Structure 1
Amino acid sequence: MTKTAIVLGTIATLFLGGTAIAQESYTFAVVPKAMNNPFFDLARDGCEARAAELGNVTCMYIGPVEHEATTQAQIIEDLITQGVDGLAISVSDIAAATTVIDRATAAGIAVITFDSDAPDSTRTAYVGTDNKLFGEDLGKLLLQVAPDGGTYGMISGGAAAPNLALRVDGVREALAGSAWTEVPGSPTFSNDDIALAVQQMGDLKTANPDLKAIVPVGGWPMFAPDGWKNFVDQYKADVDSGAFALVVADTLPQQLQLLKEGYAHGLVGQRPYEMGQKAMDTLLAIKKGETVDEIIYTGNDVVTAENVDEFLK
């Protein structure tokens, strides 16, 4: 964890034309679902870079080490007690998060969500992916790379994570009426555990030997490149021929490299770095009394073998 010192109520001084102008300083905390998820590392990097550019903002990055909704809620409670100026939260569980978000706003703390929303809470804005559209793009990409269909399974993260539920719905809607059929027991829930997600890839294939595709709605199994390769190597001939399709969420560097090497057919990526940047901008605007959009989408990227080199640059 970096930049965790809380400096509240301090005044930064700017000098313009020899005149000193007081500028209030703020501490904004970014609370991910889990700090052991490399996806959130990019959001942290964007947050810290933007805070440094702004000059009067400190980015505090703090959350549960692993995906634990109760731990996340307790961390937010602690941040409320400490009196941070703003919170950007990736919601693990809507019910738990809504309770603490409402408590934070009642205490005068600016609150937004990022990556995963709690729309019925008193948060001011959501910054991140249009998750329903994201799931639809995953489904459309599967139709593109394997139009003949078959059976498919999905891997999700936390069962109570609202963003992931929307992605699952989006995949299903995109594939409705096609030649694709979802297997029983799908999606499996990895709880954002990278090793478990890799294991669930094998479990899905073992339970369904004729499985024609797996669609993780988050990048977890590919976040362990060696584990991913070990799984794919068992079915590499079918992967190479397109008989077994792998379409995966997220576009972290290790995933792009795996795609380039032929270990997947396509990726649909989010923009976590931009989420971190926009979180700082949005919280600062709220503290200044400015009006912000309630929904701020950061967009996504569809990556295949044809354009992967552009994203690896």
Structure 2
Amino acid sequence: MLVAANGCTVEVWIVFRRACLFGLVAAFAAATVLGCGSGERSGKRRIAVIPKGTTHDFWKSVKAGALKAGEEFGVEIVWKGTASEEDKEKQVQLVDSLAGTVDGICLAPIDRTSLVPPVVRAKQSGVATVIFDSGLEDASAIVSYVATDNYKGGQMAGEHLAKLLGGKGNVVLLRYAAGSESTEQREKGFLDAIAKHPGIKVIADNQRAGSDAEEALRTSSSLLQSLRGQIDGVFTVCEPNNKGMLQALENDNQAGKIMFVGFDSDPRFVQALKDGKMHGIVLQDPFHMGYQAVKTMVEHLEGKPVEKVITTGEYLATQENMDDPRMKELLNPPKAD
């Protein structure tokens, strides 16, 4: 009888080695199955939703809509945004880093020019992009653009302010940071509407404030001081600018005396509209925008045709109609933290 060096008979040693080999193969097979399951992410597609920012109520409503679509269509939503709505470099990095980990991207570009190259790179790597909220300078690499008609929204603001002023008076436009396509369209629409009323003069449209409400407060206060007694109406083009201007008007005891039209909602603006401190709010549908952006991406990934441009609507809330069911819904849209 042959005996192995470890004291076992040769027959026992062979059986032992075979058992070990079988165990290793079984373990490898199990690991492979588990590994494949992990790689496929349980069969769910992953869609990155990259907003301009994450702090303002507008983006929280966009997130709520995106999550609703993710739940409805069985996809995982990867929500990633920058802390500042002016950090375009960080947003470029986000697009580049997420492109290799997801099946599709829904992006609200901070800057219409700077975000074109990463979208092109994503497409070259096989990852499609749906743009929402704010457009790109070059849309040739995108699947679809889902947004408010911001030019029309700006026109609505201009026409409403002109009506409030009876077709005559001096107005101020507080602009947002340069490079944001959505707010630039609002500004253009507003100015084009005001230009149709020869009795109304734009006495200031060269001041800007970014995503910081404190900056908007400082800029608004400066405008009210330098143009004291000359301003009949103002228009602000986004949530942080609304906040800054409203606070400046209150601080200066001008709230309700100067006609004030803003763009986008927030609980404070709803109260200001009720109290007569704001005289109109142009509304978007951020919940629907987030939902529609994800829905459009899902349809594209499923090989279905999608529209190149999808509008999500624009509305004007006033003290007279703010209690209508649809306006109440738009003034207080669902939010997700």
Q: TM-score range by the shorter chain?
A: 0.7 to 0.9
Which residue does the alignment assign to 1:219? 239
Superposed, which structure 2 residues align to 1:205-216 within 5 Å?
205-209=224-228, 210-216=230-236
- Could you tell me which of 69, 84, 91 is aligned with 1:66? 84
Q: Where does the alignment leave 5 or more consecutive residues of structure 1 unmatched?
A: 1-6, 13-24
Distance 2:168 2:259 in 1: 10
Which deviations, in whole Å up to 9, do the C-alpha atoms of 1:164-203 show, x marking residues without a partner?
A: 111111001101131222224x242212212211222212
Q: What is the CA distance between 1:219 and its match in structure 2?
A: 2.1
CA RMSD, aligned part only? 1.9
Which residue does the alignment assign to 2:155? 136
Superposed, which structure 2 residues align to 1:1-313 within 5 Å?
9-12=40-43, 25-54=44-73, 56-67=74-85, 68-80=87-99, 82-118=100-136, 120-121=138-139, 122-178=141-197, 179-184=199-204, 186-209=205-228, 210-223=230-243, 228-229=246-247, 231-232=249-250, 234-236=252-254, 239-240=255-256, 243-310=257-324, 311-312=327-328
Q: What is the CA distance between 1:117 and its match in structure 2?
A: 0.8
SS at match of 2:114: helix
Which deviations, in whole Å up to 9, do the C-alpha atoms of 1:68-124 show, x marking residues without a partner?
A: 1111111111112x3211111111112211011111111111201110011513111
Distance 1:8 1:28 in 2: 15
Q: What is the CA distance between 1:252 and its match in structure 2?
A: 2.9
Which deviations, in whole Å up to 9, do the C-alpha atoms of 1:6-57 show, x marking residues without a partner?
A: x763344xxxxxxxxxxxx211111111122221111011101221122x21
Distance 1:153 1:211 in 2: 7
Greater Cα radius of gyration, structure 1 or 2: 2
Distance 1:114 1:266 in 2: 25
> For the structure 1 residues 8 and 180, does the alpha-carbon distance in structure 2 shift closer, same or farther, using more than 3 Å as the test?
farther
Task: Say how many residue pairs are matched.
Answer: 286
Check the 8 A contact 2:66/2:291 in 1, yes or no: yes
Distance 1:223 1:86 in 2: 34
Alignment TM-score, normalising by the size of structure 2: 0.80
Which deviations, in whole Å up to 9, do the C-alpha atoms of 1:206-245 show, x marking residues without a partner?
A: 1211111110011214447xx8346325234xx54xx511
Which residue does the alignment assign to 2:24? none
Distance 2:51 2:258 in 1: 33
SS at match of 2:77: strand
Q: Where does the alignment leave 5 or more consecutive residues of structure 2 unmatched?
A: 1-37, 330-337
Determine which structure has the larger helix proportion and give its number.
2
Distance 2:248 2:177 in 1: 24
SS at match of 1:309: coil
Which deviations, in whole Å up to 9, do the C-alpha atoms of 1:142-161 show, x marking residues without a partner?
A: 11212242222212222111
Q: What is the CA distance between 1:309 and its match in structure 2?
A: 1.9
Distance 2:248 2:178 in 1: 27
Q: What is the CA distance between 1:259 and its match in structure 2?
A: 0.7
Distance 1:8 1:134 in 2: 44
Distance 1:230 1:202 in 2: 5
Q: What is the CA distance between 1:251 and its match in structure 2?
A: 2.4
Identity of aligned residues (%): 23
